[in-house]
Amino acid sequence: MVRCWTSCGHAALHEHLGFTRIGEFREIGFKFGEWVDVGYWQLLL
- pLDDT by residue (tens digit) across 1-45? 445 555 567 778 888 999 998 998 888 888 888 888 888 889 999
Per-residue model confidence (pLDDT) at position 31: 81
**Could you please report the per-residue DSSP string of 5-43?**
ETTSTHHHHHHHTT-EEEEEEEEEEEETTEEEEEEEEE-
Per-residue model confidence (pLDDT) at position 42: 93
Q: What is the reported pTM? A: 0.59
In angstroms, the CA 18 to CA 29 distance is 26
Per-residue model confidence (pLDDT) at position 7: 53
Phi-psi label, residue 32: left if phi above 0, alpha if psi -120 to 50, beta otherwise: left
